[in-house]
Amino acid sequence: MSSLRVIKPGPLSLLQDAGRFGWQHLGVSPTGPMDPLAAAWANRLLGNPRQCAVLEIALGGVELEAEAALWVAITGADMPLSVDGESRLNWSRFRLEAGQRLQVGYARHGQRAYLALAGGIRAEPVLGSVACQMREGLGGLNGQGHRLVEGDLLAGGSGNFPRGASVPWPWQPDYSVAQVLRVVIGGDAASFDEDQARAFFERPWQLSSQSDRMGARLEGEPLVPPQRQWSQGVVSGAIQVPPDGQPIILMADRQTMGGYPILGWVHSLDLGRLAQCPANQMLRFTVMSLDDSQDELRAFYSFFGR
């Protein structure tokens, strides 16, 4: 078994796998990576199943030391990478020799990078998943929902590759460009006044600094939501409009029930691009059909596996 010792954990580095499912009826969040596409590519570069655990590195500032020779892959945000001071490419896999140190600098574009080990990062599952949910105290390396700390050990399996490899550049997202996110209209959309539903797509929105893994909060000219007197189950990507008219988009660590009116859902694969946006970035939204959304998800699962 190969492993990496944590020298510097960074501001918020969390163990994540594909998510914790089958427990939402008890109020347990599914969690999982904020950018599922980047996490899936990290695993694919090493021949891992998509469900294998990866390290989600928020903002950067991480340093890891190899305790034995091993292969790693890193994707996601544009963070400077180096091994003992020698630069490495992002969206690629490469080998570390015993004693070498991998330095991950602070993000230039994007917010989250994903580090995978051959065979996946090993930890004991809690409710069927190692995904770290700090609010509920579940998952992570110790099973209690803790972020990475200095001295932690990331253990992986064995892997051997003839050479390094990178994701072809046309498939690498550009996190530096303005983001237009696609939305499937539904939920309580018919209960909104027509001009209010249309205004969501016509107005620019600013991503609030209060956003987190639970929800992306938008700031702009308020909408006027309809009243609703009951709660219902919610899913990731749901666009809730609370009484103050400032929409909230539910993310990976979302709650499982909500009472605010829902205008629609951000396309599942666009949630990753939203998760890579810095605070105060301007966002716009556009309508997409349910059929197109399902076609893209089928292609994603066909390529990366369920």
Say which CATH number the domain at 28 has. 2.60.120
Residue 121 has pLDDT above 90, yes or no: yes
End-to-end CA distance of the chain: 26
Give yes or no: residues 156 and 18 share one domain.
Answer: yes
Domain boundary residue, one of 107, 139, 171: 171
- The Cα 142–Cα 55 span in angstroms is 14
Give yes or no: residues 147 and 164 share one domain.
Answer: yes
Give yes or no: residues 110 and 17 share one domain.
Answer: yes
Q: What is the pLDDT of residue 227?
A: 84
Listed residue (88, 67, 73) closest to 7, CA to CA: 67
C-alpha distances in angstroms, 202 versus 189, 205, 284? Answer: 15, 10, 8
The whole-number average pLDDT for the span 125-142 is: 93
Give yes or no: residues 154 and 84 share one domain.
Answer: yes
Q: What is the pLDDT of residue 2?
A: 75
- Percent of all residues in the chain with a pLDDT value above 90, rounded to a whole number: 85
Give yes or no: residues 153 and 286 share one domain.
Answer: no
Say which CATH number the domain at 246 has. 2.40.100.10
Burial grade of 194 (CB within 10 A; 0-12, 13-18, 19 or more):
exposed
Give yes or no: residues 68 and 196 share one domain.
Answer: no
Q: What is the pLDDT of residue 232?
A: 87
Residue 33 has pLDDT above 90, yes or no: yes
What residue numbers bound the domain in which 202 lies?
Answer: 179-304
pLDDT in tens, 248-290: 999 999 999 988 999 999 999 999 999 999 999 999 999 999 9
pLDDT in tens, 70-96: 999 999 999 999 999 999 999 999 999
Cβ-count burial 103-129 (b if 16+ within 10 Å, e if not): bbeebeebbbbbbbbbbbbbbeebbeb
Count of domains observed in the chain: 2
Give yes or no: residues 105 and 252 share one domain.
Answer: no
pLDDT in tens, 209-236: 999 999 999 999 999 999 876 788 899 9
Q: What is the pLDDT of residue 305?
A: 83
Domain boundary residue, one of 147, 171, 195: 171
